[in-house]
Structure 1
Amino acid sequence: MEAKKVKNRTQLLIYILVILGLLAVANYLGVKWFKRIDMTEGKEYSISEPTKKILKGLDDIVNVKVYFSKNLPPNLTRVSTDVKDILAEYKAYAGKNLRITWEDPAESEDAKSMARSLGIPEVQMQTFEKDKAQVMAGYLGIAVLYEDKKEALPVVQNLQNLEYDLTMAVMKVSRKSVPKIGILKIDTLPPIPPQMQMQMQNQGMPETTEQKLAQAYEALRANYEVSTIDISSGAPIDSSIKTLIIPGVGNMTNRKLFEIDQFFMKGGNLIVLADAVEVSMQMGVRAIPQESKLFDLLEHYGVRVEKNMVLDGQCGQVTVPQKYGPFQMNVAVPYPYFIRLGQDGFEKANPAVAPLTEVIFPWASSLTMLVDQDSTKKSSAVKATVLARSSEKSWTVSGYYDLNPQQKWAPASGATLNQHNIAAHLKGDFSSYFAGKSIPSVNDADDTLSQIKLQPSPQDANRQIAPGNKGGNLVVIGDGDFVSGQNAIQGNLAMLLNLVDWMSLDNNLIAIRTRSLKDRTIEADLLKENSSKPNMIRIA
């Protein structure tokens, strides 16, 4: 009898050890091969493949310090839960190279001081107790640290952007260097002190490049070292700049063209925002065709910016005043000059534009490819890929432009409805526009004297013209204004940032940035389905 009891106890002990062993193995496998089943449309509760790649690539310990109050209002407890979930997934993929700690700064003055030094402020949070609104102080921040570098998420509120913000912070502290981006100065204004810029703007003076693209500058500086490039003195563009953005076609001389061309020939990437018709708001709204040497440069590279404007039945809206009896109200009406592209309008094979769901191009010009678009052929040194097209309900106008939003929209007689190229990527071995020519002088002009071959200036004495490049990347968008001023909406900025990431960094952050962008627009096209004849505007 006693032997049987010993046997039963031994078996029970073995069973317990086996179960504990299985649990340990399951726990190990769960950490080693983490997998979450996420049935949501955009996989909102799972981190993306690019984030997993970045986390697995960490080669040293990155510290994530979470400064969250323990006693959060009921409406913010989900934030804390979701942050714990996503950080657990980060830890599963980063392993020992990601160290996560949680702390409530309210528990000690030292913790409060440390949170402040890392950029985590104490915030006011609203809560309801006994049907009364009350305000309490607390913390909702995250700091990411590596060696002497730190990045802070001061207040975690938008969970949709949490993965992008957190992954970007990890990437920024762990990378060895910060990529450089240049934005070409296109205004002719001299350097203006910041205190005078606002005064000039209020007086209706022309904007500087920084003012015109303020939101683009801000967004790019989150990931890059961004500088305004002034080539009016004829100095070469810094070769350490990865990508140069040219936000317009005006104010171009032969010498400026030369500096752009040589930057491109020596391995730099170009993003050119070039519309052939400028819309001026001075003395009423007017469309003014542009003449620029930059168009000649682009044609040499393989793309022509047509002197037209594209109109599209799939469009954005503008607000116009309308009278209703004795009252006047602002009413949003469709405006075909504002081309609205959804996912169908973008090249699905390109990682920079495929995730985009909505971009508005105001007053854009169409592009014509002058090089081969068939990537399977090897006859051409440069290949072109159209990145964005208007819808099949679009047409073009040229010569005379009626910009009045309150009109009956219809293609001109003889015009056909068709897709038109709005953005394109050219890649290959480009030849220099200045190959076999002399270096233009800084003060060149289109007169007889400028055509005489003069001795090179001292600053050009030792310069050699690079005759071509290998594997060059050029993006041209037929719209110089789609990220300036009020046009810099979320989708437009996402397109520019994606293109810069794709050409300057890698594809990792593109999918994360754009995964939360969803096009929920109810379609209300100007043209009836399956009809080749235009009709009047319909508002759904």
Structure 2
Amino acid sequence: MKAKTTNQIIGNYLLRIGIILMVMLISTQLYLRLDLSANRSFSLGKYSRETVAGLKDKMVIKVYASKDLPPEFNNVQRYMQDLMVEYKRASKGKLNYEFVRYKDAEELASLAEENHLQTFPVQIYEDESLVMKDVILGLVFESQGRFDILNLYPGLEPTMEYEITKTIQNVDGKLLPYLHVFQDTLYKYYPAQLFNREINQNYKVGLTDLEKPLAQIQTLLFAGITHDLSLEQLYNLDQFIMKGGKVVFLQDRIHTDQYGINAMESNIFALLAHYGVLIEPNMVLDSRCSEGQGRGLGEYIPYPIFPVVRGMDDSPITRNTDNTLLYFASEITALDSINIEFEPILQTSASSGILRGPVFNIEPVMTRGLSYLLNDPPVTVAAKISGKLTSFFARDPAMQKPGFVAEREDAEFIVFGDSELFMDPDDPLYLNRGFVVLNAIDYFMDNLSMIQIRTRNLAPSVLRMDYYMYKKQIQPAELERYRSTSRALLGIFKSIAIFLPVLLLAILGFFVWLAKKPREAEA
């Protein structure tokens, strides 16, 4: 009997061990991850998964990381590792990653230099004193002799997946969609290194002067002009739209030179007005704006002439974007409410203003800053237009050539009221200002999954005061009447945070006591 009991005990233990081993074996084959973060920040987007699953050749990503990283770099590394696990699983064996081994900091620095990785000087607290330390954190992508790098640094987290996926597809030699780009002389006068890099990494770019008809490739980026187009250029642009081409316009009505700031005229405005869209001869102001150097040393003052605008929650193009800086922007309005659908995709805040042309005197605005009268409702500075359009040359037989198309039922284009939206910003805070332009291009290319990974982690926190003011259209002058409500809510949240855990523990203890009470009575 005793032997039988012993055998049963051993059998039970062996059965349990077998079950545990089976569960562990199954867990290595099955992968389940629950991501409850905002916008699923720790899970790969559809575009990233498709990119690595469709790799033509095997790829390895080598991680170069200093030991004992400062906390801010540690956060970047942890997020990068989470993404690497996701990339590896989604690639189905085509992509792997590894941490590069090294003996000491000198060897790591040498390896980083060989691979053109950046060294970040960081001030840290060590041995009870502040010291400077060189930190290295970067990725090297290798595939069939092709090579690229990506430096990782604090602040990159919101766009890290986008940057990694973009680098993977370029190293893999993925065929990029074709994009026409029209650049006026205006484009050459301003620094546009960041924007040029972005469009060349996302598209196969072909420059056009519009002097010849465009091949019916889907999308054209029209990067602003300061003068008239020739009739030939205007005709080719019009027919591109009439034949189904999609155009993203970067165009305002403001011209600056040594004589001042003035409203400008061009036949491009006549073309757009014919299509039912007016770029107003004005300058948009906003209390939510960038800051610039004041007259005092180290003094920074708000520049309402440079609005910082948010996207629309219901627009796939600008959703999650709240940090788009505009330089001298013009208002966009609709002239036709019957044949076209006018959808705003970027607007200023509820504390906006307008400077009227033809001469823009910005001195009072710059002097008074936010004390300048900014009581206008949100102003539309970018819009998507769709619907029935007739050709600008429909009543001009002399200009019509073989293959002329007089109207289009499903025409589409987008207008941003800022010709300098391609320009690199002075403030690193707005480095991603051109993302809305890329999103507009990808929207016309039906590449919504790329838009999602580019901007999904840029969404503002719903708890931020400025975001709440934007959603409720609250002006700064109205804040005082909300302060008592804010203080009351803060007191409620504090009370809940203090007493709720105690209450839950008390309830749990009560139920445990109830469960034990019958046993004690039986004993």
| Bin of the TM-score, shorter chain as denominator length | 0.7 to 0.9
**Aligned counterparts, 1:509-528, within 5 A:** 509-517=450-458, 528=477
Structure 2 residue aligned with 1:24: 25
The counterpart of 2:411, out of the listed 438, 458, 472, is 472
Q: Distance in 2 between matches of 1:80 and 1:332?
A: 34
Q: Distance in 2 between matches of 1:357 and 1:398?
A: 26
Confirm or deny that 1:392 pairs with 2:350.
Answer: yes
The counterpart of 2:194, out of the listed 207, 212, 215, is 215
Confirm or deny that 1:490 pairs with 2:451.
Answer: no
Following superposition, the deviation at residue 356 of structure 1 comes to 0.7
Q: Distance in 2 between matches of 1:28 and 1:494?
A: 39
Structure 2 residue aligned with 1:298: 272
Q: Distance in 2 between matches of 1:516 and 1:364?
A: 26
Following superposition, the deviation at residue 145 of structure 1 comes to 4.8
Q: Which whole-Å deviations, capped at 9, do the CAs of 1:324-346 have from their partners, x for residues lacking one?
A: xxxx536333333333324xxx3
How many positions carry a matched residue from both structures?
457
Q: Distance in 2 between matches of 1:417 and 1:490?
A: 28
Over 3 Å counting, the alpha-carbon distance change for 1:436 and 1:355 in structure 2 is same
**Aligned counterparts, 1:88-487, within 5 A:** 88-104=85-101, 119=115, 121=117, 140-145=137-142, 150-153=147-150, 159-160=156-157, 161-173=159-171, 176-187=174-185, 209=188, 211-231=190-210, 234-240=211-217, 242-280=219-257, 282-283=258-259, 286-321=260-295, 329=297, 331-342=299-310, 346-372=311-337, 380=339, 382-399=340-357, 400-404=359-363, 405-407=366-368, 417-435=376-394, 437-438=396-397, 440=399, 463-469=402-408, 471-484=410-423, 486=425
Following superposition, the deviation at residue 249 of structure 1 comes to 4.6
Following superposition, the deviation at residue 122 of structure 1 comes to 8.4
Over 3 Å counting, the alpha-carbon distance change for 1:316 and 1:8 in structure 2 is closer
Structure 1 residue aligned with 2:81: 84
Q: Distance in 1 between matches of 2:342 and 2:285?
A: 23
Give the letter for the 2:222 counterpart: I
Give 3-state SS (helix, strand or coil) of 2:272's partner.
helix
- Matched-pair contact (CA < 8 Å) for 1:180–1:243: no
Q: Per residue, is there more helix in 1 or in 2?
A: 2
Q: Which whole-Å deviations, capped at 9, do the CAs of 1:70-109 have from their partners, x for residues lacking one?
A: x7244366655443332123334444443334443779xx
Q: Which whole-Å deviations, capped at 9, do the CAs of 1:294-324 have from their partners, x for residues lacking one?
A: 0111012221112222333444334332xxx
Give 3-state SS (helix, strand or coil) of 2:202's partner.
coil
Over 3 Å counting, the alpha-carbon distance change for 1:364 and 1:21 in structure 2 is same
Q: Distance in 2 between matches of 1:141 and 1:383?
A: 46
Structure 1 residue aligned with 2:43: 47
Following superposition, the deviation at residue 433 of structure 1 comes to 1.7
Does 330-339 or 139-148 show the bigger shift?
139-148
Structure 1 residue aligned with 2:485: none
Structure 1 residue aligned with 2:507: none
Q: Distance in 2 between matches of 1:530 and 1:105?
A: 56
- Matched-pair contact (CA < 8 Å) for 2:117–2:149: no
Give the letter for the 2:43 counterpart: I
Structure 2 residue aligned with 1:72: 67
Q: Distance in 2 between matches of 1:397 and 1:260?
A: 30
- Matched-pair contact (CA < 8 Å) for 2:320–2:457: no
- Matched-pair contact (CA < 8 Å) for 2:44–2:83: no
Give 3-state SS (helix, strand or coil) of 1:406's partner.
helix
Give the letter for the 1:406 counterpart: T
Give 3-state SS (helix, strand or coil) of 1:287's partner.
strand
Q: Distance in 1 between matches of 2:344 and 2:132?
A: 55
Over 3 Å counting, the alpha-carbon distance change for 1:85 and 1:53 in structure 2 is closer
Over 3 Å counting, the alpha-carbon distance change for 1:249 and 1:475 in structure 2 is farther
Gaps of 5+ in 1: 188-206, 322-327, 373-378, 441-455, 532-540
Over 3 Å counting, the alpha-carbon distance change for 1:305 and 1:124 in structure 2 is closer
Give 3-state SS (helix, strand or coil) of 1:338's partner.
strand
Following superposition, the deviation at residue 208 of structure 1 comes to 5.4
Structure 1 residue aligned with 2:517: none
Percent of aligned pairs sharing the same letter: 19
TM-score by length of 2: 0.73
TM-score by length of 1: 0.71
Structure 2 residue aligned with 1:538: none
Give the letter for the 2:248 counterpart: I
Q: Distance in 2 between matches of 1:267 and 1:423?
A: 21
Q: Distance in 1 between matches of 2:317 and 2:256?
A: 28
Gaps of 5+ in 2: 481-523
Following superposition, the deviation at residue 55 of structure 1 comes to 5.8
Give 3-state SS (helix, strand or coil) of 1:170's partner.
helix
- Matched-pair contact (CA < 8 Å) for 2:60–2:96: yes
- Matched-pair contact (CA < 8 Å) for 2:277–2:333: yes
Following superposition, the deviation at residue 140 of structure 1 comes to 4.1
Give the letter for the 1:66 counterpart: K
Following superposition, the deviation at residue 163 of structure 1 comes to 1.9
